[in-house]
Amino acid sequence: MDILVIINTIFTVLTYATALFFLIAIIRAFCRTKNPQTALVYCVIMVPFVLRLLRLK
């Protein structure tokens, strides 16, 4: 496999890792919040992160 393709693949994996990193941060923020509206907003924000990490969308 060409070296550039391998590097591109590595950046893809790192981008997924970044999404996971921020998903963990969102979950922590969700657990800490005391505001019901904010809790709902965090849940909505999480949706694309979860589906992308599960490789469904």
Partner 1 sequence: MTMFQHSLAVIAVIVVVFALAKKFKACTEITLLLAALGALVAHLILPMGVDERSALPFTEIIRHLVEGTFNYFDVCMTFLTATFFMTLYKETGGVNYLVHQIVGRFYKRRILCLLLLLVVMMVPGAVTGSGATTVLTVGGLVGTVLAAMGVKEDRRVALVFILAAMSAACPPINLWTMMAAAGANMPYVGFTAPLAILSLGGALFATFYLTRGTKSDSPVEDVLATLPQPLQGWNAVRAFIPFIVMLVLILGARVIPAYWPVIGLPMIFMLSAGSVLLCAPHKVNVLEVAVTTVVNLKELVGIMVAVGVLNQILTLTGARGLISLGVVILPIALLFAALWIILPVAEGVLQYAVAPLLGVPLIMLFNMKGYNAVIALAAWSVMWPVGDCLPPTAVVGRAAVMQLDYKGSYYKGFLKAALVPMLFILALCTAAMIFNKPLGNLLGV
Partner 2 sequence: MKKLNINTVKAICVIIFAFCVGVAGYLFWEHRNYKEPVVVSEYITEVKKLSDYSDVVKGTTNDCNVYIFDSGVEGGCMLIWGGTHAEEPAGVMAANLLVENLKVNQGKVILIDRQNNSSSTNSRVGEAYPRFFTYETDWGTKVWRFGDRHANPLDSWPDPEVYIHYPSGQTLANVDIRNTNRNWPGKANGLLTERTNYAITELIKAEGVDMTLDLHEAELEYTVENTIVVHEKGQAVAAMVSMMLTSETFDVPIGMEFSPTALHGLSHREVGDYTDAASYLVEVAEPMLDRIRGITDEELLMSGKDVFVIKAGEHKLLYAPIDENGWPIDKRVARHIATATTIMEVNNTVNPDQTILIENIPTYEEMMENGLGGYYHDPSAVSADRVYYD
Q: HEC string of 1-57? A: CCHHHHHHHHHHHHHHHHHHHHHHHHHHHHHHCCCHHHHHHHHHHHHHHHHHHCCCC
- Shortest reach from residue 28's CB to partner 2, in Å: 13
- Shortest reach from residue 29's CB to partner 2, in Å: 12
**Does residue 15 belong to the site contacting partner 2 (CB under 8 A)?**
yes
Residue numbers 13-52 binding partner 1 by CB under 8 A = 14-15, 18-19, 21-22, 24-26, 28-29, 32, 37-38, 40-42, 44-45, 47-48, 51-52
